[in-house]
A and B are shown apart, each in its own frame.
Chain A
């Protein structure tokens, strides 16, 4: 009996920590999302307003804009990161000193703080002294003097680029792990049969990498949905509201406008979106495994 209870007993401290740091705040924010709480007027949450905060979100143009901006950002960022990561993994799967060295160098962007990346890119795209703005202007005179971050589309493009630059190394390593698990025999057999490199990649490697790529996509999607740091330090959500992501908007509502009830509702909407996407990916992953098992 004691031996049976011991594992449960040992789990209690960890459970209590998770309860205090994750489950309680989540539950509290869920309850708060149904209440009115203007922090400038009340120290504690006020009256219940039912679905009022959620309905406000459904009709508020700023929220709908942030939802659209987030969608554009997530799709661009996830697709580009996966394409680059998979391509780089293919290039780096060989062994050798140069490849090992490149793999080590590759991790550097991922080691950088996202906020610092935003600040650095803001400097680099400064039209007066930014090294990238000046360099591009020198290489392509037509780009000289372009205020990169002042254009809504270019600003979004640069935001996506910084995120892809930041995450590609990590995702490359995930893909390298996946590639290492593919049996070499299938590729060799195809090569003997005269298949081209491209055909081998698309018809042999990619199908076997589907599981790894799905996991990579789930992770990248969740990280992209939370995009906040670079928005703050690179674009400030501008120009206008063209780069205001959902996480940035929620921060403004909660910690600049002090509307905690509404901010909680928005945070739960973001959580539900992430849960739904994760569930969809996992379902795809499981169905994939069933097909393989069959």
Chain B
């Protein structure tokens, strides 16, 4: 009942809703390699089919798509970077009541978890 964020229904969320420039505000490495670009990402720019990953030292480009699987109740992102292809589960997607603020949680199969926000 407070002014907390509202959960989007991930079964029905339209794909374009995930586009945009996502700022990394927190991360959980678990046993993921901390030296990878993903583990060090500061921004994740998801434009139509095009992906750019910013770190404090550089940028990595690639492609992305949204995938769905009957075994999962949520979509996942397929990120194709220069030398690797990784999958990231959309664990949570929340938004403010007016829709201006959004928060995204991505969970990678490596155990890495990124917490991102817009704007």
Q: Do A and B bind each other?
A: no
On B, residues with C-beta under 8 Å from A are none
